[in-house]
Amino acid sequence: WQNRILLIGDAAHAIVPFYGQGMNAGFEDCTILDAMHDELDGDWSRIIPQFARERQPDGDAIAELAQRNFIEMRDLVGDPQFLLRKKIAARLHERHPDFLPVYSMVTFSNTPYHVALEEDDAQNRLFERVLRLEDAEHNWDGVEEVFGQWLNGKLNS
């Protein structure tokens, strides 16, 4: 059966349902598979292994993102620090439209899941610093300063 069977869509994405991305991941599979079919002249012996290689990082990433989202929903939605983080993230997005909170990135954009996972890790570093600021909720000068450092790559750890 090698290189003659391909699972796509929900059948291929064994993830917890806490991002609601099973069908969306399936649509992405179809779009990517269609492009590969054109690019590789319909040669399934090349399409299937390439598709599996290229989609694996996104499948792994959405599984991780869904697990993280489950933990947020289960453990954090009543946490004042978590709620403050969400409030500051929304404000940063208002002031800097290119800054997308990860949930929005996954749910409302075409950002590949593996990129969204990397961004989640980066945003975790950002908010770790932001939430250490004195009166972070009202200290927008401090938030903007930390955000600027983050954008310039100075908050790598």
- 135 and 82 share one domain: yes
pLDDT of residue 131: 97
Residue with tokens 């969306």: 24
Check pLDDT > 80 for residue 10: no
Distances from the Cα of 19 to the Cαs of 67, 104, 138, 151, in angstroms? 9, 11, 31, 27
- 55 and 85 share one domain: no
Last residue of a domain, one of 29, 56, 77: 77
Domain range for 49 is 1-77
- 63 and 106 share one domain: no
pLDDT tens digits, 97-150: 999 999 999 999 999 999 999 999 999 999 999 999 999 999 999 999 999 999
Task: Kindly report the pTM of this predicted structure.
Answer: 0.88
Last residue of a domain, one of 21, 54, 77: 77
- 147 and 112 share one domain: yes
pLDDT of residue 156: 66
pLDDT of residue 23: 84
User: What's the CA gap between 1 and 21, in Å, rounded?
Assistant: 29
User: What's the CA gap between 51 and 40, in Å, rounded?
Assistant: 11
User: What's the CA gap between 146 and 127, in Å, rounded?
Assistant: 9
Structural domains of the chain, count: 2
Q: Write the DSSP symbol of residue 18.
A: S
